[in-house]
Structure 1
Amino acid sequence: MTEWIDTQRPDLKFDELSGDKQKQLVADLVKIQRDGTVKVDIEKNAPAVSELLKLHPTLEGSSPIVDDVVSESKKLIPRLKIAILVVGTRGDVQPFLAIARRLQEFGHHVRLATHTNFRNFVRSAGVNFYPLAGDSRELAEYMTRNRGFIPSGPGEISVQRKHLKVIIESTLPACTEPDLETGMPFRAQAIIANAPAYGHTHVAEALHVPLHIFFTMPWTPTNEFPHPLARVPQNTGYWLSYIIVELLIWWGIRGSINEFRRKKLNLPPIAYFSTYRGSISHLPTAYMWSPSVVPKPKDWGPLVDVVGYCFLDRGFKYQPEELVLKWIQKGTKPIYVGFGSMPLAEPQRTTHIILEALKDTGQRGIIDRGLGGLGNCTELPEDVLLIQDCPHDWLFRHCSAVVHHGGAGTTSTGLRAGCPTTIVPFFGDQFFWGETTHQKGLGPAPIPISQLNPTHLSNAINFMLQPEVKYRAIEIAKLIDSEDGVVAAVNAFHHHLPSELPLPPASEEDEDFANPLQWFLLKVEKWCCVPCGLRL
């Protein structure tokens, strides 16, 4: 604690202040940076910080180890209708697909709701799809312009609200409407969601069903590191950075949320400023990264689990084109460079930077075109291969090192393959993962996309080629490979389910199946429970 916490201070009651005064107090603490993060300086307004720190909970009890949850639990888990709500890019959707498939193995009826452009991706994994509003490419462009969730200027506020409003409103039909193709009735008995699917809490409240948050970046306040969207000079301000980010996002979506609650959910609105703040701290939350990479903070209580990376493992069945396989086999392992779903303002310039760095370091390279259009309209040398839509879990095993944007999914796949990693962050948690890999000695300091040039990239490649860096990457890969994040994620979900769960009305069940035999089997299934640690 800093000294001023215990000194005489004005008797501020933050919750009782007007909205304008609350905003002003928070504004005195923060500054929106050019990289889209929020700089939180706790020395700028000690009284305001002191009031916000009163929201800090006192944790009691210890957190069970998620791997031991099933063996400790004797409760039976009924087969449930589960809606999974995911907002984001393909990398955000992919780990939820792995979890959905595992839940289906337990006999649960799972619906994954996400953006329409991922329809085929979801269905190809054998999971039911339902559309959420919003275009992931437009969201990526917005977040690239603003370097994250928080609008960088007045002109972007309306854009943010427009995107989020339609997404929020689409979360209700995703949990209650019949299947769009078969007409099969569906009403969620449990909801899994990532944090940006902002309607999740309110739909769960209206339906009286349990909600479990799963996410790939830290969203629960901790004193061990700052919010990924914040820059905090003083480590005493780490916990506070989560509250500040929550407030800024909540103030931006509050109008849409309350309209949704009144008009769609028949729920009362939430006060302008309340202890809610859009927080997920009161909800069961599972973080999908390896505890070997970022251990669970000591101040995260028993509601929070770090389950490990959740891999879909598409590459094991992948058959590459003969041209790709021959190119890989005819020389030394290449450097992979790709930025996934990230839009690029100058793809041709960025391609030239990559080619020059590869030439300077004498390395073969694979350039992934991605949605940004790398390699287009450029003649490539023989020692550089241009690819598109190749599963990373197959490709990275054939690479000596990787350079990418730092999405959580791409980062995890590179580390699992034992690849030293250079992260070129565009926005959001990509900076967090860049710093994390650097602190672990698995790669150089991150290079923000605005600072990417041939010299910086050449230095990064040379750093990754050091034997000691490769050794550390292989060691962390062994630890990641020993974990099973998908199993741990499902175990955590089952563990945190309440002892009593809502069942759909009898009339709804009867409508599901007109065939008498199907109706009978459904009735049997209603009362057929399986221990949460056993596969069907």
Structure 2
Amino acid sequence: MKVVVSGYGSTGDNVPLLALADGLNRAGHHAILVADEQAGPAAERLGIDFLVLAGSVKRLLAEDSRGWRETVGSGRLSSRALSEMSSFHRSEWLTTIADAARDADVVASSVLGLHQAGSVAQDLGIPLVGIQLQPTLETSEYPPPASGLRRLPRVLNRPLGRLLVRAGDLVISRGVNRDRRAAGRGRLRIDWDAMPILMAWSPVLVPAAPDWTHADATITGAWTPPPDPDWRPPPGLEAFLADGEPPVFVGFGSVSGFDGLPALRDAVLAGLAGRRVVLSSGWAGLESGGLPADVFPVDHVPYDWLFPRCSLVIHHCGAGTTHQGARAGVPTVPVPFALDQPFWAERLRLLGVAPEPLNPRRPDAGAVRAAVAWASQPGARRRAAEVGRRMAEEPDAVAAAIRVLERVAG
């Protein structure tokens, strides 16, 4: 079967899509990946047919999006961000996905770009499959991840989840329908309650909620592509790792557009004084000059290689980084900024592998020391190792997703 795998986002959003497309090809199918330009080099290495969605997400987050700056600055999804995403290269994405879907049997898309994928699938008369990297189905178990909230009174969780889903659908559908009218096509019709959904996360971190009512939703596990056999550690990193106790990893991934990052970095490093640290520059390009000798700066290092060599990890709790830290079996000190990051921080806390998260808007070296002390306790380390063991025993997540796609495609 021919499958279009589409979605827009940062590295943590691209990696699962790459893994699914690679798995489909290895299983004898034909996958076409439609994603942000950042996925291009990995797609080429894996031999995946690839089309670029217009608009660099790295540039968008760092420079172009006032809505994202408002969101990451406040920790709450701004209405401006939602409005921006409803019009961001909407027509170009529709054309690109349509080009990829010629003769396709099914289109599978993550949240950003799902309406355009649904429009293409509707016109071609082929199935649409949703891809979720964090839960969006309504539940009373926890607040909707997009809300940026870790906890709410239980009675409010489900209504807020319903509100956010309906609001997002309304705003984005309006723009897609405008394009469809201009092309002489009927209104977009997506049956959200019946659309098959692939949930690409570990059930150890988020099990199925008992009050989900969706007819066809499958938690497959997290999708991870094979490692790059040609990757080598940057000069000096292996020697640094071997020259003392396992270090603490510090990095904030794709977080950018947040003016407080330099002060946050300084507070975290002050709180880690006397400890060995691997500091990742991330998309924000954290300044690496003038660092102490026990802090080793890195650019890109695969987390599945690095995290098992660390004593604990301090990060923003994006979905991908959260899974890598948990799978490595090491405790986390969460520093969530916005959107689903507080949700993942709370999941780790509930598992006993992370303390209460640090507030990136109130950098405090003392709070860092206290959180690191908590994460360094034998109990936290023991629980983290157990979570890592359980995740390692999960069945093949990509294979589970492919079985669903094969069933849907018929």
Q: Do they fold alike, i.e. is TM over 0.5? A: yes
1:88 aligns with 2:14: no
Alpha-carbon distance in structure 2 between the residues aligned to 1:358 and 1:337 = 10
Q: Which amino acid aligns with 1:267?
A: R
1:194 aligns with 2:110: yes
1:145 aligns with 2:69: yes
Contact 1:175–1:186 (CA under 8 A) maintained in structure 2: no
Give the 3-state SS of the residue equivalent to 2:279 in structure 1: strand
Matched ranges for 1:70-219 at <5 A: 80-141=1-62, 142=65, 144-147=68-71, 152=78, 156=80, 160-177=82-99, 186-197=102-113, 198-219=115-136
Alpha-carbon distance in structure 1 between the residues aligned to 2:351 and 2:397 = 20
Contact 1:405–1:426 (CA under 8 A) maintained in structure 2: yes
In structure 2, the partner of 1:372 is: 284
Give the 3-state SS of the residue equivalent to 2:145 in structure 1: coil
Alpha-carbon distance in structure 2 between the residues aligned to 1:345 and 1:166 = 24
- The range that moved more, 444-453 or 478-487, is 444-453
Partner deviation per Cα, 1:485-505 (whole Å, 9 max, x = no partner): 12222222223x154xxxxxx
In structure 1, the partner of 2:267 is: 353
Going from structure 1 to structure 2, the CA distance change for 1:427 and 1:144 (only over 3 Å counts) comes to farther
Contact 2:263–2:363 (CA under 8 A) maintained in structure 1: no
In structure 2, the partner of 1:504 is: none
Q: Which amino acid aligns with 2:362?
A: Q
Alpha-carbon distance in structure 1 between the residues aligned to 2:300 and 2:321 = 13
Partner deviation per Cα, 1:401-443 (whole Å, 9 max, x = no partner): 0011111011101111111011211111101000110111011
Alpha-carbon distance in structure 2 between the residues aligned to 1:352 and 1:228 = 29
1:291 aligns with 2:203: yes
- 1:151 CA displacement: 5.9
- 1:162 CA displacement: 4.6
Contact 1:177–1:187 (CA under 8 A) maintained in structure 2: no
Partner deviation per Cα, 1:480-526 (whole Å, 9 max, x = no partner): 0011212222222223x154xxxxxxxxxxxxxxxxxxxxxxxxxxx
In structure 2, the partner of 1:391 is: 302
Going from structure 1 to structure 2, the CA distance change for 1:475 and 1:150 (only over 3 Å counts) comes to closer
Alpha-carbon distance in structure 2 between the residues aligned to 1:413 and 1:316 = 19
Partner deviation per Cα, 1:349-378 (whole Å, 9 max, x = no partner): 23321220111xx321110011112233x3
Alpha-carbon distance in structure 2 between the residues aligned to 1:387 and 1:81 = 39
In structure 1, the partner of 2:350 is: 439
Contact 2:330–2:381 (CA under 8 A) maintained in structure 1: yes
In structure 2, the partner of 1:337 is: 250
Give the 3-state SS of the residue equivalent to 2:255 in structure 1: coil
Contact 1:337–1:366 (CA under 8 A) maintained in structure 2: yes
Q: Which amino acid aligns with 1:145?
A: R
In our comparison, the structure showing a higher alpha carbon Rg is 1
Alpha-carbon distance in structure 1 between the residues aligned to 2:278 and 2:57 = 25
Percent identity (aligned): 27
Contact 2:105–2:409 (CA under 8 A) maintained in structure 1: no
Alpha-carbon distance in structure 2 between the residues aligned to 1:478 and 1:81 = 35
- 1:207 CA displacement: 1.2
Alpha-carbon distance in structure 1 between the residues aligned to 2:231 and 2:59 = 29
Cα root mean square deviation, aligned: 2.3
- 1:259 CA displacement: 1.0
Give the 3-state SS of the residue equivalent to 2:236 in structure 1: helix
Correspondence for 2:187 among 265, 269, 279: 269
Q: Which amino acid aligns with 2:263?
A: R
Q: Which amino acid aligns with 1:165?
A: S
Alpha-carbon distance in structure 2 between the residues aligned to 1:346 and 1:237 = 31
In structure 1, the partner of 2:406 is: 494
- 1:242 CA displacement: 1.7
Give the 3-state SS of the residue equivalent to 1:336 in structure 2: strand
Query: Mind listing any 5+ residue stretches in structure 2 that lack a counterpart?
Result: none
Give the number of aligned pairs. 399
Partner deviation per Cα, 1:42-89 (whole Å, 9 max, x = no partner): xxxxxxxxxxxxxxxxxxxxxxxxxxxxxxxxxxxxxx2211111111
Contact 2:349–2:356 (CA under 8 A) maintained in structure 1: yes
Alpha-carbon distance in structure 1 between the residues aligned to 2:76 and 2:263 = 28
- 1:131 CA displacement: 1.2
TM-score, with structure 1 as normaliser:
0.70
Correspondence for 2:360 among 438, 441, 449: 449
